Amino acid sequence: MKKTLLAFVAGLALALAIVLPMKMSAGGPPAKHPEIEAAIRHLEQARDNLQKAAHEFGGHRVKALEHTNQALDECHKALEAAE
C-alpha cells in the first residue's frame, strides 16, 4: 500500500511537471524542452523532500528515492536523445 502510494506520488510529480510546465524566467532563452526540464526540477524537489523525510517508512522512502533517481536519469537521457 505504502509502496503504491509513494510510486503514485512520484508519478504525480512527473505528470504535473509535464501537464503544467513552468515558464522560464524573463530574459532567458526559451527552453528547448520545457516539459522535460520542468519534470527534472520537480523530481529534484521530490528527491530533496524524500531525503529530508524524518522516517524510513518501512524501507519505502529509500525505494521511492531509487525510483525518483531512475526517473531523473530517464529525463536526462530524454534530453540527450533530443539533441
Residue 24, SS3 per DSSP: coil
Cα separation, 18 vs 50, whole angstroms = 21
DSSP 27: T
Q: Single out the residue of 60, 53, 46, 56 nearest to residue 4, CA to CA.
A: 60
Residue-level pLDDT at 31: 83
pLDDT along the chain (83 residues), means of 10: 68 63 57 95 97 94 97 97 92
